[in-house]
Amino acid sequence: GLAVIVLAGCSSDPDSNPVGGGGGGEQQTFQDFIDTLTSAEPADRGGLVDEFMLTASAAGIPFLEDTLAHFIYRGALSSGITVPGDFNGWSPVTDPMTHIAGTDFYYLTKTFESDARLDYKLVLDGGDWILDPLNPSTVPGGFGANSELAMPDYVQSEEINYDAGIDHGTIETFSFHSSVLMNDRDVHVYLPPGYATSPAETYPTLYVNDGGEYLTLAGMDNVLDYLHDRGDIQDMIAVFVEPVNRNTEYWLNPAYSEMMVDELVPHIDLNYRTLDSPSKRGVMGASLGGLVSVYISHGHPDVFGFSAGQSGAFWVNSNQIIQTISSGPELDVEFYLDWGTYEAEIAQSNYALRDALLAREYTVTQFEYHEGHSWGSWRAHTDDILKAFAAQTE
């Protein structure tokens, strides 16, 4: 008969998931299964895979054992399958799956930190990029959804989800014309719960670059509602600014900075009940949006007293913004930075900017996560930005 191995995905405690196998009840690992599979007669391998998949599917795929993640695919392929993701720079050739002869079973085992959270996809036969059909967990991205690998100690963020049981802010959208840039863009203004019924109240304001994506991909309005409901932040207005020519505008562009400072901020201050003080006004963004946020605030500390960058692309123009800060005086601006260890050059530039800011004795809130360059990371940490901004404005 078939030698059947049953496994259960492990938590951070390997003894917390005893797994039965064979006739002895000894603990088995994924590697034990692979060893048994490869030593079995070819005719028996399909049955072993079917038995294993019952357990693996129940535990979740990728199949996790402590710091090991086992990517699995079943299907008929002509030239194989690879796993591009945050962990290999989205290379379609770096991490091929191993095929077990005589089966439709493919696997790849990789080691990650126990709290890592990473995006990935599968590439079939060197061509089609697909979501992992065995993994229902996906995260939104700028180029569509990706499959999500969340290691055992990663904690999902509940604040990004809409909660029908709490009070909600309102969002007003208008088209904003810039005479400086000679273009029009959508701007979405989040007004906190109670804004309409508290006509004497004035509010700090946070400007959000890539504003549309912070709403659609990061659920930042949900985060604002959640933190308001819990009393974690005071009420604030958030101005979600959509880009028009993103790379041009965010690439240390003084005209974009002028649009924000001389056109948009006065428009918001005129039409909404804002606190007109740099200590009550912040700007934030991700990637190039993080770069331009630091650039704007450092160039205009009289307007923005808080700046936040998530995975900021501070390497742009040979680290120009880092050199500017290193050679300049300390200004009255507080900074927030977060980045992922799986971001290579961006992580290095964040280290360098952080060190430059600290050398100039700026106040810096900083976080590093075992994540990549993705909205899955940024959306999970916008609550930290809001808390840091709220702490400054109190």
CA dihedral 240, 242, 248, 249 (to 10 degrees): -40
Which residues have CB under 8 Å from 368's CB, separation 6+?
338, 339, 340, 341, 347
Three-state secondary-structure class, residue 297: helix
pLDDT-flagged residues of the chain (< 50): 1-24
Long-range contacts of 33-39 (CB under 8 A, 24+ apart): 33/5, 33/7, 34/100, 34/107, 36/3, 36/5, 37/100, 37/103, 37/105, 38/100
Ordered DSSP codes for 210-249: THHHHHHTT-HHHHHHHHHHHTSS---EEEEEPPSSHHHH
Q: What is the pLDDT of residue 13?
A: 43
How many CB atoms neighbour CB 298 within 10 A? Answer: 20
Q: What is the pLDDT of residue 318?
A: 97
Contact between 56 and 109 (Cβ < 8 Å): no
Q: For residue 210, what are the β-bridge partners?
A: none
Q: What is the pLDDT of residue 142?
A: 86
Nearest in space to 310 (alpha carbons), one of 277, 353, 356? 353
Instruction: Write the pLDDT tens digit of every residue in 313-368.
Output: 999 999 999 999 999 999 999 999 999 999 999 999 999 999 999 999 999 999 99
Helix locations, 242-327, DSSP H: 246-250, 254-258, 265-271, 288-299, 316-327
Instruction: Write the pLDDT tens digit of every residue in 218-248.
Output: 999 999 999 999 999 999 999 999 999 999 9
Q: What is the pLDDT of residue 244?
A: 98
Contact between 210 and 247 (Cβ < 8 Å): no
Q: What is the pLDDT of residue 14?
A: 39
